[in-house]
Chains A and B, each alone.
Chain A
Amino acid sequence: KNQVEQSPQSLIILEGKNCTLQCNYTVSPFSNLRWYKQDTGRGPVSLTIMTFSENTKSNGRYTATLDADTKQSSLHITASQLSDSASYICVVSDRGSTLGRLYFGRGTQLTVWP
């Protein structure tokens, strides 16, 4: 069964600290993996996208890694800011159809305290 599991479910850190969010997936055949940021009451916004051959991708203070062998990804946030408080969703796409079926994780709810 194709699934995307994220951990931790929630995380509280102090402003300025770093953190790492985890994503494990069983989706096959794999096409790509995205990390989205979803602010409360808003739609998700894409942070990074990685295909099978990419191991790491950065977007400002966000760095995503992908290990396609172990089917794991992480999102590292450096020098956190209050505006980083949001839900971070891992989304994996398969290659099984023209649509490119997306499998969503439940997200990690990150809270950054001053």
Chain B
Amino acid sequence: EADIYQTPRYLVIGTGKKITLECSQTMGHDKMYWYQQDPGMELHLIHYSYGVNSTEKGDLSSESTVSRIRTEHFPLTLESARPSHTSQYLCASSDKDGGAQSRETQYFGPGTRLLVL
């Protein structure tokens, strides 16, 4: 069982509101990720971090921002939510399995389901 947590699990908000999705892990992993997943579709990487003070944009263009002030914490913020942001957001962290980068495994949190009205 992975020790990676996301809050809230479900969120319904109105257009224009600022929201922050929380993600924390207690495994001491340096790498953390945010994915967006729509029903029946593949996961899309929107942000990632190699460690403290490191953040990068992923493949899918996103109006969200992230920060990495502490190793265990990787929050995602939407300054002004819109209905197009309705989706499931998955946070993940990774470590090297057996010391080999080729076997690196990502551990996922339970996700946050966001509905913007």
Contact = CB atoms under 8 A, between A and B. Distances in A.
A106 B108 contact: no
Main secondary structure of the interface of B (DSSP, over half): strand
A23 to B, nearest CB: 12
Interface residues of A, number: 25
Interface stretch (A14-22, A36-44, A60-68, A69-77): A36-44
Interface string A1-38: 00010000100000000000000000000011010000
Nearest to A9: B40
A43 B109 contact: yes
Contacts of B42: 4, 89, 104-107
B110 interface: yes
B90 A41 contact: no
B106 interface: yes
Interface string A67-98: 00000000000000000000001000101001
Given A31-B102, A41-B110, 13 more contacts: A9-B40, A43-B92, A43-B108, A43-B111, A44-B43, A45-B2, A93-B104, A100-B101, A104-B43, A105-B42, A106-B41, A107-B40, A109-B40
Interface of A: 4, 9, 31-32, 34, 41-46, 49, 51, 89, 93, 95, 98-100, 102, 104-107, 109
A42 B111 contact: yes
Centre residue among B31, B108, B109, B110 by max chain A CB count within 10 A: B108
Nearest to B41: A106
Contacts, number: 55
A49 B105 contact: yes
A42 B6 CA distance: 11
Contacts of B102: 31-32, 51, 93, 95, 100
Contacts of B109: 43
Given A102-B45, A104-B43, A34 B105 contact: yes
